[in-house]
């Protein structure tokens, strides 16, 4: 019995020793995989996750505030008038006219807009019409073209960018192949549809509007500028750049984000020295933008960063003395 008791007590002692060793080894190593120091004031995992989550969310909020302040201080906010993917019957913004513009236009009866503004429509020009006009632009400008990023072709005056200057396209024999009578009919129909739309939107008389100079095709790329004519991205007011303009329209012939990157039309609202809101228009094939040409529509074209952007500027004046004639097919 005594032997058995001894045996039992030594078994008991062994067990106790084993327990102590286990406990000691756990304390020395920390709980599996953790440092012994971490063990002393060990936080549960859930608390650690919460504080990590808090740090991250604070970091994200602070970063957001910094980005917002930087962004608004730099360029003001940006709103979209028309995205490339949208197909718009008509969308626009109306606002009071610039005083100088209003004073001038008031001398032309039937031509004063109910309100100034900027509008866009994807339903005026058909895909086929846009294709015909794109082909004219491509064929015509390929006979010359600027050494820099901006080339123009004016079918009315014949002006075509050529290296670092302009030539008269009608002096070239190949000019006869640029467009035929049917193409010209498309050109005139499109011009007339835009004129009707402007008259309706701004509530003026169709007959008070006259096509004016310059009305031209443009091809924009990311080539380095060689002359000031290549610098198409400057902020401007059309009435100042092209004196005779009262209503500006643009028909886009290629697609933003597909045929080219960059090249959005951007209106800058707010004080001219520090605009507070950029209103962006993404070109879409067949899309027409129409806007009053005064200082209420300060704008610029973004630099094209990739690809080729084609458009036609179709401009109208209320001053009949500044009217231009439709182009005619070159004689063979």
Catalytic residues: 309
- Residue of the chain from 111, 124, 153, 301 that contacts ligand AKG (CB under 6 A): 301
- Residue of the chain from 118, 287, 299, 322 that contacts ligand AKG (CB under 6 A): 299
- Quick one: 133 or 250, whose CB is closer to Fe ion? 250
- Quick one: 290 or 301, whose CB is closer to ligand AKG? 301
- Quick one: 238 or 255, whose CB is closer to Fe ion? 238
The CA dihedral of 167, 168, 171, 176, to the nearest 10 degrees, is 120
- Quick one: 172 or 291, whose CB is closer to ligand AKG? 291
Q: Is 94 exposed, middle or buried (0-12, 13-18, 19+ CB in 10 A)?
A: middle
Q: How far is the CB of 305 from ligand AKG (least distance, A)?
A: 15
81 binding ligand AKG? (CB under 6 A) = no
Pairing of strands 216-220, 77-82: unpaired
Tokens of 272: 């001219």
- Residue of the chain from 204, 313, 318, 322 that contacts ligand AKG (CB under 6 A): 313
265 binds, among Fe ion, ligand AKG, none (CB under 5 to 8 A by kind): ligand AKG
Tokens of 183: 């193409």
Looking at the DSSP assignment, which residues form a beta bridge with residue 315? Answer: 248
CA nearest 187: which of 162, 156, 163? Answer: 156
CA nearest 137: which of 253, 257, 249? Answer: 253
What would you report as the CA-atom Rg of the chain, rounded to the nearest whole angstrom?
A: 35
Q: How far is the CB of 330 from ligand AKG (least distance, A)?
A: 25
Match 């182009």 to its residue by tokens: 327
Chain positions 227 to 246 lying near ligand AKG, rule: CB under 6 A, are 238, 241
120 binding ligand AKG? (CB under 6 A) = no
Tokens of 226: 């060689």
For 131-140, give one letter per residue: b (16+ CB within 10 A) or e: ebbbebbbbb
User: How many Å apart are CA 242 and CA 102, to the nearest integer?
Assistant: 16
- Quick one: 141 or 172, whose CB is closer to ligand AKG? 141
- Residue of the chain from 81, 124, 311, 314 that contacts ligand AKG (CB under 6 A): 311
Q: How far is the CB of 254 from ligand AKG (least distance, A)?
A: 11
Half-sphere exposure of 82 (CA within 13 A, CB side): 30
268 binding ligand AKG? (CB under 6 A) = no
CA nearest 135: which of 196, 87, 99, 180? Answer: 180
Binding site for Fe ion (CB under 5 A): 238
Maximum Cα–Cα distance across the chain = 135
- Quick one: 166 or 172, whose CB is closer to ligand AKG? 166
Q: Is 152 exposed, middle or buried (0-12, 13-18, 19+ CB in 10 A)?
A: buried
250 binding ligand AKG? (CB under 6 A) = yes
Q: How far is the CB of 107 from Fe ion (least distance, A)?
A: 23
Q: How far is the CB of 122 from ligand AKG (least distance, A)?
A: 15
User: How many Å apart are CA 10 and CA 16, to the nearest integer?
Assistant: 10
Q: How far is the CB of 280 from Fe ion (least distance, A)?
A: 15
Nearest residue to Fe ion on Cβ basis: 238
Provide the binding-site residues for ligand AKG, judged by CB under 6 A.
238, 241, 250, 265, 299, 301, 311, 313
């Amino acid at each position: 019995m005594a032997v058995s008791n001894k045996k039992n007590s030594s078994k008991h002692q062994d067990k106790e020793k084993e327990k102590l060793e286990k406990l000691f080894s756990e304390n020395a190593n920390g709980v599996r995989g953790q440092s012994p120091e971490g063990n002393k004031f060990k936080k549960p995992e859930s608390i650690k996750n919460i504080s990590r989550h808090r740090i991250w969310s604070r970091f994200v909020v602070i970063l957001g505030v910094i980005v917002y302040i930087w962004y608004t201080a730099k360029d003001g906010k940006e709103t979209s008038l028309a995205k490339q993917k949208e197909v718009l019957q008509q969308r626009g913004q109306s606002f009071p006219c610039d005083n100088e513009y209003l004073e001038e236009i008031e001398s032309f009866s039937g031509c004063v807009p109910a309100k100034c503004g900027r509008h866009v429509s994807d339903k005026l020009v058909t895909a086929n019409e846009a294709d015909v006009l794109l082909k004219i632009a491509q064929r015509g400008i390929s006979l010359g073209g600027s050494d820099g990023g901006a080339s123009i072709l004016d079918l009315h005056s014949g002006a075509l960018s050529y290296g670092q200057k302009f030539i008269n396209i009608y002096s070239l024999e190949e000019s006869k192949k640029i467009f035929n009578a049917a193409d010209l009919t498309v050109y005139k129909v499109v011009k007339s549809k835009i004129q009707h739309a402007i008259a309706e939107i701004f509530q003026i008389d169709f007959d008070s509007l006259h096509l004016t100079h310059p009305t031209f095709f443009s091809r924009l790329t990311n080539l380095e500028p060689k002359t000031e004519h290549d610098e198409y991205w400057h902020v401007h007011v059309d009435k100042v750049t092209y004196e005779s303009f009262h209503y500006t329209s643009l028909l886009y012939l290629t697609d933003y984000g597909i045929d080219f990157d960059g090249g959005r039309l951007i209106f800058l609202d707010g004080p001219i020295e520090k605009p507070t809101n950029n209103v962006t228009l993404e070109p879409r094939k067949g899309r027409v933008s129409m806007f009053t040409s005064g200082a209420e529509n300060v704008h610029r074209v973004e630099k094209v960063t990739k690809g080729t952007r084609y458009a036609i500027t179709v401009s109208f004046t209320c001053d009949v003395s500044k009217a231009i004639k439709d182009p005619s097919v070159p004689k063979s």
